[in-house]
């Protein structure tokens, strides 16, 4: 089984490969008991939001990792996928600006370095 940090970085790479933008990996272990990491990404439209989430679920399922909970597929403006130690937030650009969850969860020291290839 992968360590939470390894899983978070793998998720970020998968989202990057699907042209996710402004990808952030946050270590939130010291801020909450619900998870260890958040991975946050943006997409340009609802089709891309949904495609990124579906691809991520399929690729992780191939490794035997099933999502525990999912929400947001109906309107695909903000999809949340719960992998226990990592919670993934895939936003439409407009929703990400409105909710700005990084502001709530970033403490200045918990952003994990991740280089986007795209």
Q: Is the pTM of this model over 0.85?
A: yes
* Domain regions of the chain by residue span: 4-107
Q: Residue 113's Cα: distance from chain center in Å?
A: 14
pLDDT of 54-90, one tens digit each? 999 999 999 999 999 999 999 999 999 999 999 999 9
pLDDT band, very low/low/confident/very high, at 118 (cuts 50, 70, 90): low
Whether domain 4-107 has CATH 3.30.460.10: the reply is yes
| pLDDT tens digits, one per residue of 5-19 | 999 999 999 999 999
The CA radius of gyration of the chain, in Å to the nearest whole number, is 13
- DSSP 8-state assignment for residue 76: -
């Amino acid at each position: 089984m992968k360590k939470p940090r390894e899983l978070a970085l793998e998720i970020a790479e998968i989202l990057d490969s699907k042209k996710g933008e402004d990808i952030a990996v946050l270590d939130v272990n010291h801020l909450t008991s619900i998870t260890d990491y958040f991975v946050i990404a943006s997409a340009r439209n609802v089709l891309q939001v949904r495609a990124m989430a579906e691809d991520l679920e399929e690729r992780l399922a191939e490794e035997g990792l099933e999502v525990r909970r999912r929400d947001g597929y109906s309107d695909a403006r903000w999809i949340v996928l719960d992998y226990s130690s990592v919670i993934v937030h895939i936003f439409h650009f407009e929703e990400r600006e409105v909710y700005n969850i990084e502001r709530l969860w970033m403490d200045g020291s918990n952003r994990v370095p991740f280089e986007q290839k795209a």
